């Protein structure tokens, strides 16, 4: 197995992550080629080192707001061959959706879920092979949000049937009236 080249964020938010994971996964297949203290440093590091994978903290200095997710977007745009794993302390549905929309070589995991070395290595491997990794909590939030945003969610089965029938009739009338 070839050695994975990875860059990591460097900061208070990932100290525990680095302490838990750097030795085990480095020993298995990873060489950490750099660590960055902020989003700008991470972007410079990715441009200079051309790693296989960038592990990004969603909240990075200086403001700890959107710097990490913006860095991940920029890495995706400028270096599409670099896999991206975003780590977050909380479920960030909108940010994750935008990043995951790219579909390839990307993952989003909650830091609290990264506890088993083999599972973490499997997630990294999946990203590097072109796949996606999504934290189960994020999936649950996505389905919950979808259900709560559905304007037809309060309809019973018969009401849905009537609404579907009405929409089909409207589509037919539109097609006959304006045959473009």
Which residue ranges make up each domain of the chain? 4-135, 150-177
Q: What predicted TM-score, i.e. pTM, was given to this entire model?
A: 0.67
Q: Which of 70, 72, 116, 64 is nearest to 90 (CA)?
A: 64
| SS3 at position 78 | helix
What are the residues whose beta carbons fall under 8 Å from the beta carbon of 137, sequence distance 6 or more? 91, 110, 113
Backbone angles phi, psi at 150, to 5 degrees: -75, 115
4-135, superfamily in CATH? Response regulator (3.40.50.2300)
The CA distances from residue 36 to 11, 43, 113, 120, 142, in Å, are 8, 9, 23, 21, 31
Which pLDDT band holds residue 142 (cuts at 50, 70, 90)?
low
Are 17 and 87 within 8 A, CB to CB? yes
pLDDT at 143 over 70: no
What pLDDT is recorded for position 48? 92
Q: Give tens-digit pLDDT for 38-68.
A: 888 889 999 998 999 998 887 776 666 778 8
DSSP string, 19-43: HHHHHHHHHHHEEEEEEESSHHHHH
The share of the chain scoring above pLDDT 70, in percent, equals 59
Mean local confidence (pLDDT), 28-36: 72
Q: Work out the end-to-end distance of the chain between its first and last CA atoms, rounded to an integer number of angstroms.
A: 57
Residue 110 pairs with which residues in a beta bridge? 88
What are the residues whose beta carbons fall under 8 Å from the beta carbon of 39, sequence distance 6 or more? 60, 61, 67, 68, 70, 71
């Amino acid at each position: 197995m070839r050695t994975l080249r990875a860059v990591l964020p460097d900061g208070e938010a990932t100290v525990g992550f680095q302490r838990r994971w750097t030795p085990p996964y480095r020993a298995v297949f990873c060489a950490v080629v750099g660590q960055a203290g902020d989003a700008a440093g991470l972007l410079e590091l990715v441009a200079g080192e051309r790693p296989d994978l960038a592990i990004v903290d969603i909240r990075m200095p200086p403001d700890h707001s959107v710097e990490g997710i913006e860095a991940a977007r920029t890495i995706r745009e400028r270096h599409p061959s670099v896999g991206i794993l975003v780590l977050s302390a909380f479920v960030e549905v909108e940010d994750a959706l935008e990043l995951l929309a790219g579909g390839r070589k990307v993952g989003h995991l909650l830091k609290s879920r990264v506890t088993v070395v083999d599972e973490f290595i499997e997630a990294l491997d999946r990203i590097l092979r072109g796949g996606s990794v999504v934290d189960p909590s994020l999936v649950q939030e996505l389905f919950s949000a979808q259900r709560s945003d559905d304007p037809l969610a309060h309809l019973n089965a018969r009401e849905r049937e009537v609404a579907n029938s009405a929409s089909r009739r409207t589509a037919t009338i539109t097609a006959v009236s304006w045959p473009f």
